[in-house]
């Protein structure tokens, strides 16, 4: 299509001209508000972007090496896609330009922060891939108890920047998770029993809307959008910075215990007892059951928000014969990096979820049964399935007022999310494993219902839910309001050109 000779887009003034040329090239498909397909067309749009953005930003091309590769890379390889180019915007103004060009040309695009989304094409695209990595600053305002955190950071680095100041914010519990996706979806942290979700502790967003407006959004300036950005994912625009309430942070006590199949019943008993009896909000556990290489194993993260090991709270876990144990006083950042989740880095993957009101021993036995059932049916090779039980206090949604955020839709109940994580290496197994992840969640839901757990109005966590989960299951009664809000702030549905949960 000879776009290299057509374009001479040397500056911002010429963007409209470039875009007009592109539109005429694809005139026949422009009538409907659908993304326009075609690799050459996407490449032409990338070319237009590369000429329009400032020197603070850059476009990387396929095959150009490490920067392009890092831009499109995800924790799960099945979440990555070859895009026509990747763009690393360095300013909000350049994001506005990029959004305008993709909007005018109806080109599919993606926004990626930490790349930990497990759903294909939620943060990847064959079109224009936007990597947020240049928004990587942490600014701590000690007087206001606020940290302004760049959307392109991973939480490891946020904690690492704040640990020396003796403070922290509420973010991810494992290594490598991005600020952007977690803070826009909900955010279950190691301090959630004490202070609620990440979204409950946000005081502001800097966001670029699809129409190019750059807004500082908070409870005073745009209360409706502020509400929507607290759980509403990428429906309203591209967020560059988040302001989060800071809390004093000492070193913590914790780490991981590994247990083999022989002692799984003991893990179940200790987990059920902990979840039903421990009320100290500084204590948290994350017992995971994994089937890998023909073996059932458990790995239990223990956390206490103090440098001192607490009396008795964890005794049942400490008494279980283990195959490895690494518990000590350490900085929060180091603790987060002990989570074993990177063992499946680079494999294909998918998550699904159920929300649990009561981690009974019966429910934990059903989870172990699921781990074995699906584990024994995994494709050969580097495959595994992990069920992460995350028993929180039932008060976790009480730390913010009713209807203060898009997620969760109902704060009168406090369910705990369970993550079902499959990892495998052969794309021909994708459909079967997606099906297994759905069947397993349905089975565990049945078990809870048969126990009399009232799952009415209990939302699913969108950051764990498998693609195609009905939006009502995540957003409940908030969905119509979110759809209206989307229509208000993105009337031409530009953000609909990017994948994700779409209102």
Ligand X SMILES: Cc1cc2nc3c(=O)[nH]c(=O)nc-3n(C[C@H](O)[C@H](O)[C@H](O)COP(=O)(O)OP(=O)(O)OC[C@H]3O[C@@H](n4cnc5c(N)ncnc54)[C@H](O)[C@@H]3O)c2cc1C
Binding residues for ligand NAG, per CB under 6 A? Answer: 75, 141, 144, 146, 148, 154, 175-176, 195-196, 200-201, 203-206, 216, 218, 241, 243, 245, 260-262, 276, 321-323, 337, 342, 345, 358, 360, 366, 369-370, 373, 381-382, 399, 410, 412-413, 425, 443, 456-457, 477
- The binder of 260, among ligand X, ligand NAG, none, by C-beta within 5 to 8 A per type, is ligand NAG
Helices (H), 395-478: 430-450, 471-475
Q: How far is the CB of 426 from ligand NAG (least distance, A)?
A: 7
Alpha carbons 221 and 251: distance in angstroms, whole number: 36
**Which is nearer to ligand NAG, 108 or 196 (by Cβ)?**
196
Alpha carbons 72 and 168: distance in angstroms, whole number: 29
333 binds ligand X (CB under 6 A): no
- The binder of 443, among ligand NAG, ligand X, none, by C-beta within 5 to 8 A per type, is ligand NAG
37 Cβ neighbours under 8 A, 6+ residues apart: none
- The binder of 410, among ligand NAG, ligand X, none, by C-beta within 5 to 8 A per type, is ligand NAG
Nearest to 355 by CA among 385, 314, 384, 396: 396
288 binds ligand X (CB under 6 A): no
Q: How far is the CB of 367 from ligand NAG (least distance, A)?
A: 10
How far, in Å, are 108, 427, 434, 442 from residue 447 at the CA level?
41, 31, 20, 9
- The binder of 344, among ligand NAG, ligand X, none, by C-beta within 5 to 8 A per type, is none
Q: How far is the CB of 233 from ligand X (least distance, A)?
A: 6
462 binds ligand X (CB under 6 A): no
Q: Which stretch binds ligand X (CB under 6 A): 30-38, 109-117, 251-259, 303-311?
A: 109-117
Task: Yes or no: say if 298 and 287 are a contact pair by the CB < 8 Å rule.
Answer: yes
- The binder of 186, among ligand X, ligand NAG, none, by C-beta within 5 to 8 A per type, is ligand X
Nearest to 403 by CA among 281, 226, 183: 226
Whether the link from the prior residue into 408 is cis, omega within 30° of 0, is yes
Alpha carbons 260 and 485: distance in angstroms, whole number: 49
Q: How far is the CB of 358 from ligand NAG (least distance, A)?
A: 4
Q: H or E stretch including 316? A: helix 315-318
Residue among 99, 103, 117, 396 that touches ligand X (CB under 6 A)? 117
Residue among 51, 100, 173, 191 that touches ligand X (CB under 6 A)? 173
- Computed over its alpha carbons, how large is the radius of gyration of the chain? 23
Q: How far is the CB of 65 from ligand NAG (least distance, A)?
A: 18
Residue among 22, 101, 162, 174 that touches ligand X (CB under 6 A)? 174
414 binds ligand X (CB under 6 A): no
- The binder of 325, among ligand NAG, ligand X, none, by C-beta within 5 to 8 A per type, is none
- The binder of 295, among ligand X, ligand NAG, none, by C-beta within 5 to 8 A per type, is none
Specify the pairing of strand 128-131 against strand 109-112: parallel
438 phi and psi angles, rounded to 5 deg: -75, -45
Alpha carbons 18 and 5: distance in angstroms, whole number: 12
**Which is nearer to ligand NAG, 477 or 484 (by Cβ)?**
477
- The binder of 425, among ligand NAG, ligand X, none, by C-beta within 5 to 8 A per type, is ligand NAG
Alpha carbons 300 and 317: distance in angstroms, whole number: 8
**Which is nearer to ligand NAG, 64 or 342 (by Cβ)?**
342
239 binds ligand X (CB under 6 A): yes
Whether the link from the prior residue into 228 is cis, omega within 30° of 0, is no
How far, in Å, are 65, 269, 270, 320, 354 from residue 316 at the CA level?
50, 9, 6, 7, 26
Alpha carbons 455 and 490: distance in angstroms, whole number: 33
375 binds ligand X (CB under 6 A): no
Alpha carbons 200 and 192: distance in angstroms, whole number: 10
**CB hemisphere CA count around 358 (13 angstroms):** 14
Residue among 35, 115, 409, 414 that touches ligand X (CB under 6 A)? 115
**Residues making contact with ligand X (CB under 6 A):** 75, 111-118, 122-123, 132, 151, 172-174, 177-178, 180-182, 184-188, 233-234, 238-239, 341, 463, 498, 500
């Amino acid at each position: 299509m000879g776009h290299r000779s057509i374009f001479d887009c040397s500056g911002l003034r010429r963007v409209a001209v470039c875009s007009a040329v592109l539109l005429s090239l694809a005139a026949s498909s422009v009538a409907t508000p659908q993304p326009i397909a075609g690799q050459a067309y996407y490449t032409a749009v990338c070319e237009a972007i590369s000429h329009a953005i400032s020197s603070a930003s850059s476009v990387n091309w396929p095959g150009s090496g490490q920067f392009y590769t890092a831009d499109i890379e995800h924790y799960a390889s099945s979440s990555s896609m070859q895009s026509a180019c990747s763009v690393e915007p360095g300013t909000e103004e350049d994001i506005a330009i990029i959004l305008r060009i993709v909007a005018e040309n109806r080109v599919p695009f993606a926004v990626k922060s930490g790349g930990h989304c497990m759903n294909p094409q939620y943060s990847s695209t064959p079109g224009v891939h936007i990597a947020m990595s240049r928004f990587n600053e942490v600014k701590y305002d000690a007087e206001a108890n606020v940290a302004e955190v760049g959307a392109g950071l991973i939480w490891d680095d946020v904690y690492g920047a704040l640990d020396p100041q003796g403070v922290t914010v509420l973010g991810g519990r494992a290594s490598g998770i991005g600020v952007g996706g977690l803070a826009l979806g909900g955010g279950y942290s190691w301090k959630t029993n004490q202070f609620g979700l990440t979204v409950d502790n946000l005081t502001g967003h800097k966001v670029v809307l699809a129409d190019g407006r750059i807004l500082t959004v908070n409870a005073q300036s745009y209360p409706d959008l502020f509400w929507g950005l607290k759980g509403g994912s990428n429906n309203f625009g591209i967020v560059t910075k988040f302001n989060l309430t800071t809390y004093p942070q000492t070193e913590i006590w914790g780490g991981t215990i590994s247990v083999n199949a022989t002692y799984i019943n003991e893990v179940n008993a200790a987990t059920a007892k902990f979840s039903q009896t421990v009320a100290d909000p500084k204590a948290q556990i994350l017992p995971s059951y994994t089937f890998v290489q023909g073996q059932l194993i458990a790995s239990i993260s223990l956390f206490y928000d103090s440098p001192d090991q607490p009396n008795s709270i964890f005794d049942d876990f400490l008494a279980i014969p283990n195959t490895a144990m690494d518990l000590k006083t350490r900085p929060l950042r180091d603790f987060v990096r002990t989570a074993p989740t990177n063992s499946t880095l680079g494999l294909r993957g998918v998550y699904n979820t159920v929300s649990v009101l009561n981690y009974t021993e019966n429910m934990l036995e059903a989870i172990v049964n699921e781990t074995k059932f699906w584990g024994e049916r995994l494709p050969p090779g580097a495959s595994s399935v992990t069920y992460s039980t995350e028993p929180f206090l039932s008060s976790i949604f009480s730390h913010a007022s009713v209807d203060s955020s898009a997620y969760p839709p109902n704060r009168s109940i406090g369910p705990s999310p369970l993550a079902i994580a499959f990892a495998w290496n052969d794309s021909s197994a994708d459909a079967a494993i997606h099906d297994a992840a759905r069947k397993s969640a349905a089975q565990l839901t049945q078990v809870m219902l048969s126990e009399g757990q009232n799952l009415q109005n209990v939302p699913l966590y969108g950051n764990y839910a498998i693609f195609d989960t009905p939006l009502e299951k995540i957003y409940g009664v908030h969905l119509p309001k979110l759809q209206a809000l989307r229509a208000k702030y993105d009337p031409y549905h530009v953000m609909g050109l990017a994948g994700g949960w779409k209102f």
